[in-house]
């Protein structure tokens, strides 16, 4: 829709409130035409000609983190880094800062919860501290804002955003209103200074949607650190990323001297030497990675209502698989307790591990051992059929690297040259038949 506002002469530029045949200013004939108010018209432009300001990418130097970010932090952008207390947020941020400071980038930690001495102690635990790593212990938003505006550091980390106070906002300290107001001011400051800003937020399992996640729409990138704080595996996942793919994961291991990166193929091979019923290998796709995973099940007779416990695997999928095992594979699990998990704390929640999980339960229930060197891939449908999964080639590549020799796969899938023996199965029943040891 166009908005007619005025008329102007194409020769001398003089404006006129209505159309006239001859310009009253320069006398030119037929030079006056309609003008459009460009302020009010959203003029479409060619996408091809539109310039993209991608910003400067600041690689943290931690390959697993940069992988999740698609290269690094973007200058002027804000990243929310959240996770449960003790999962390793401060450690990861500090390691990224150290790595950047070691390459002479200016980095500042705004410590809102700890004193500078406490931060220094933690930093030294991770190794020698680079001179360019600075700390300011304050919870005052204005001070943090000034640090960003005055020094324009390459990277600023605020640990944590929930501990910031904004004196201009009357709401209680730590309340969503306070935290949001503080975050808004710092995002704006970071943008103006071209500083990459990381806001750390803690969250509890139950309170995921309150607290820091109220900031999700404000920030450019949201990273979550996942992992059992009693275990060592840590997964950094991009839940939102304005500058690249989301869902990408980075793997770390918490050690005595901080988080150690786990590049592809470095996860300690699942499947220790134990050959017991209930253990089956598979491979799960997460982000752009394929990760070998050992599924474990235990079946026990319990008293009263049978318990079904799923850890690191989906409890809905476990329930579905138990129903399919009963209805289509004639297993009687009705009165039994079933426990299912993965070894090593790796989550395996996607349907590609269905068949392996079901086989683990069957093997535990019947007491047979699934041979080592065998892995199972496939989604299980309600009819007991084995369905194809996405990214089979990638999954097979990972299993091959781990020394798997034989893989049970859905019948529809016939990849090129997988380098492992493939056994096609139409159904979960087929999988059980192939995996059960042959009795003479
Ligand atoms: P931390 O980064 O403080 O977690 P968050 O900021 O998410 O609350 O680290 C949490 C735990 O990690 C802490 O309990 C101790 C442990 N840790 C190590 O095992 N090794 C280390 O080098 C560091 C720094 C911490
Ligand atoms: Mg912390």
Stretch 247-269: mean pLDDT: 85
86 lines ligand 1 (CB under 6 A): yes
CA distances (Å), origin 243, targets 45, 57, 73, 436, 437: 22, 10, 9, 48, 51
Ligand number nearest CA of 95 is 1
Kindly give the distance from the C-alpha atom of residue 85 to the centroid of ligand 1, in angstroms, as a whole number: 9
256 lines ligand 1 (CB under 6 A): yes
160 lines ligand 1 (CB under 6 A): no
Kindly give the distance from the C-alpha atom of residue 200 to the centroid of ligand 1, in angstroms, as a whole number: 14
Kindly give the distance from the C-alpha atom of residue 88 to the centroid of ligand 2, in angstroms, as a whole number: 7
- Please report the pLDDT score of residue 162 as a whole number: 87
Distance of alpha carbon 106 from alpha carbon 89, whole angstroms: 20
pLDDT higher than threshold 80 for residue 262: yes
Which tens digit of pLDDT belongs to each residue from 332-352?
Answer: 998 899 999 998 888 999 999
Kindly give the distance from the C-alpha atom of residue 160 to the centroid of ligand 1, in angstroms, as a whole number: 14
Q: Which of 58-67, 90-99, 265-274, 330-339 has the lowest mean pLDDT?
A: 265-274
Ligand number nearest CA of 225 is 1
Which tens digit of pLDDT belongs to each residue from 129-150?
Answer: 888 899 999 999 999 999 999 9
Q: Ligand 1, residue 160: give the atom nearest the CA.
A: 6
- Please report the pLDDT score of residue 27 as a whole number: 84
The pTM assigned to this predicted structure is 0.80
Torsion of CA 84, 88, 90, 94, to 10 degrees: -160
125 lines ligand 1 (CB under 6 A): yes
Which tens digit of pLDDT belongs to each residue from 183-219?
Answer: 999 999 999 999 999 999 988 666 554 566 788 899 9
The residue nearest atom 22 of ligand 1, judged by CA position, is 258
Q: Ligand 1, residue 256: give the atom nearest the CA.
A: 20
Q: Ligand 1, residue 258: give the atom nearest the CA.
A: 22
User: Which residue carries 């193929």 as its tokens?
Assistant: 265
Q: Ligand 1, residue 126: give the atom nearest the CA.
A: 22
Mean pLDDT of the chain: 88
CB 392 within 8 A of CB 415: yes
Residue 300: phi and psi, rounded to 5, are -145, 150
Which tens digit of pLDDT belongs to each residue from 5-50?
Answer: 678 887 787 888 788 888 888 888 888 887 765 545 567 777 777 6
């Amino acid at each position: 829709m166009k908005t007619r506002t005025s008329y102007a002469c194409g020769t001398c530029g003089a404006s006129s409130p209505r159309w006239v045949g001859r310009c009253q200013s320069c006398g030119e004939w037929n030079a006056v035409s309609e003008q459009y108010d460009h302020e009010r018209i959203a003029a479409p432009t060619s996408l091809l000609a539109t310039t993209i300001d991608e910003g400067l990418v600041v690689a943290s130097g931690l390959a697993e983190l940069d992988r999740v970010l698609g290269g690094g932090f973007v200058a002027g952008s804000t990243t929310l880094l959240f996770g449960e207390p003790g999962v390793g947020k401060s450690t990861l941020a500090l390691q990224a800062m150290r790595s950047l400071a070691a390459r002479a980038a200016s980095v500042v930690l705004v410590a809102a919860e700890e004193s500078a001495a406490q931060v220094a102690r933690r930093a030294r635990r991770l190794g020698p501290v680079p001179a360019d790593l600075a700390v300011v212990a304050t919870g005052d938003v204005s001070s943090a804002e000034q640090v960003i505006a005055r020094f324009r550091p390459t990277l600023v980390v605020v640990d944590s955003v929930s501990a910031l106070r904004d004196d201009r906002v009357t709401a209680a300290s730590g309340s969503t209103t306070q935290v949001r107001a503080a975050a808004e001011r710092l995002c704006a400051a970071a943008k103006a200074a071209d500083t990459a800003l990381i806001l750390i937020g803690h969250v509890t399992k139950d309170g995921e949607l309150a607290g820091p996640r109220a900031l999700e729409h404000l920030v450019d990138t949201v990273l979550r650190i996942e992992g059992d704080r009693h275990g060592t595996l840590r997964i950094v996942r991009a839940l939102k990323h304005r500058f690249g793919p989301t869902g990408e994961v980075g793997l770390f291991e918490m050690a005595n001297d901080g988080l150690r990166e786990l590049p592809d193929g470095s996860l300690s091979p699942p499947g220790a030497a134990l050959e017991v019923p209930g253990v089956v290998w598979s491979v799960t796709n997460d982000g752009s990675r394929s990760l070998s995973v050992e599924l474990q099940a235990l079946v026990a007779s319990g008293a009263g209502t049978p318990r079904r416990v799923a850890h690191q695997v989906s409890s809905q999928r476990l329930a579905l698989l138990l129903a399919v095992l009963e209805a289509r594979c004639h297993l009687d699990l009705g009165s039994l307790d079933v426990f299912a998990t993965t070894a090593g704390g790796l989550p395996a929640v996607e349907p590609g591990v269905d068949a392996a999980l079901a086989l683990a339960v069957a093997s535990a229930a019947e007491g047979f051992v699934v041979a080592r060197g065998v892995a199972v891939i496939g989604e299980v449908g309600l009819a007991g059929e084995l369905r194809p999964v996405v990214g089979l080639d990638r999954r097979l590549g990972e299993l091959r690297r781990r020394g798997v020799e034989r893989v049970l796969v859905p019948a529809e899938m016939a990849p090129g040259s997988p380098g492992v023996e493939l056994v096609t199965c139409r159904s979960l029943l087929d999988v059980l038949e192939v995996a059960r040891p042959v009795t003479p």
